[in-house]
Amino acid sequence: RKKLARRLLFDKSANDEHERSILTKLKQQCGGQFTSKMEGMVTDLTVARDHQTKFEEFISTHPELNPGIDLAVTVLTTGFWPTYKSFDINLPAEMVRCVEVFKEFYQTRTKHRKLTWIYSLGICHITAKFEAKTIELIVTTYQV
């Protein structure tokens, strides 16, 4: 389950159909109880892509809320995924704004759900422009 989580969260999986095919084979061998959480993980990623599309539509229809930074959020169902520790960190003001805008969007869609941010799973793409050239830095949320 932990290896599947890493593949799914860090986009290392071939594709969802491949993962579902493997889970079907596992289910036949080990039973539905063994694979139910993993099936939920794959479903979470499908739902997350839909949330992302709707979030982008929300931003485009509410330009005053646009934080000026591209943000992709993957909302996970706690019961399906391995346990991850949540630590509060001091985010830059621009990222705090992103979190607030996403929370506002998410609360319009789901009334009784609580978001817990797992910053240790986040990555940031930063474009650094130097005189000689532009470099894209890929860093963890903690490194921002």
Whole-model pTM above 0.85?
no
Please say if the pLDDT value at position 15 is more than 80. Answer: no
CATH code for position 33: 4.10.1030.10
Mean pLDDT of the chain: 91
Looking at the structure of the chain, the number of domains it has is 1
pLDDT given for residue 11 in this prediction? 79
pLDDT given for residue 12 in this prediction? 80
Least confident of 14-18, 50-54, 74-78, 81-85: 14-18
Side-chain half-sphere exposure of 26, counting CA atoms within 13 A: 16
For 26, the domain range is 2-143
Percent of the chain with pLDDT over 90: 63
pLDDT given for residue 102 in this prediction? 95
Q: Could you give phi then psi for residue 102, rounded to 5 degrees?
A: -65, -40
Query: Tens digit of pLDDT for each residue in 102-130?
Result: 999 999 888 888 899 999 999 999 999 99
The mean per-residue pLDDT over the stretch 16-35 comes to 88
